């Protein structure tokens, strides 16, 4: 299933299974690995406003940040940076966001 559909479904109140969380985690890792290849992937497009709102993110937040935020909500790290912070730092480093 497409990660955007999972996020969309989650934004409408559908709980995510452990397997879906794992799929989202693999998707995020794949996107992070491919960030050097192309910045034209769909993950660098803005997510719909209702998704950003449900995740308490700014309007026009990239899909990749929404993905990281969902993982932080479902699999929070006990130590170190959150997935959202890691992704934001990566996007900042690549010049895709302004800090």
* Residue ranges per structural domain of the chain: 3-93
**Digits of tens for pLDDT over the chain (99 positions)?**
589 999 999 999 999 999 999 999 999 999 898 887 766 667 888 999 999 999 999 999 999 999 999 999 999 988 999 999 999 999 999 888 876
Note the pLDDT of residue 63: 94
Residues in the chain: 99
- Rg of the chain on CA atoms, in Å: 13
Note the pLDDT of residue 94: 85
Dist. CA 24–CA 60, nearest whole Å: 20
The whole-model pTM stands at: 0.90
């Amino acid at each position: 299933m497409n990660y955007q559909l999972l996020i969309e479904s989650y934004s409408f109140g559908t709980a995510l299974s452990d397997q879906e969380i794992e799929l989202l985690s693999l998707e995020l890792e794949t996107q992070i690995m491919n960030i050097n290849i192309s910045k034209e992937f769909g993950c660098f497009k803005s997510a719909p406003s209702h998704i950003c709102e449900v995740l308490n993110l700014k309007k026009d937040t990239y899909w990749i940040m929404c993905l990281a935020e969902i993982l932080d909500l479902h699999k929070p790290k006990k130590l170190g940076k959150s997935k959202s912070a890691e992704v934001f730092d990566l996007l900042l480093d690549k010049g895709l966001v302004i800090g």
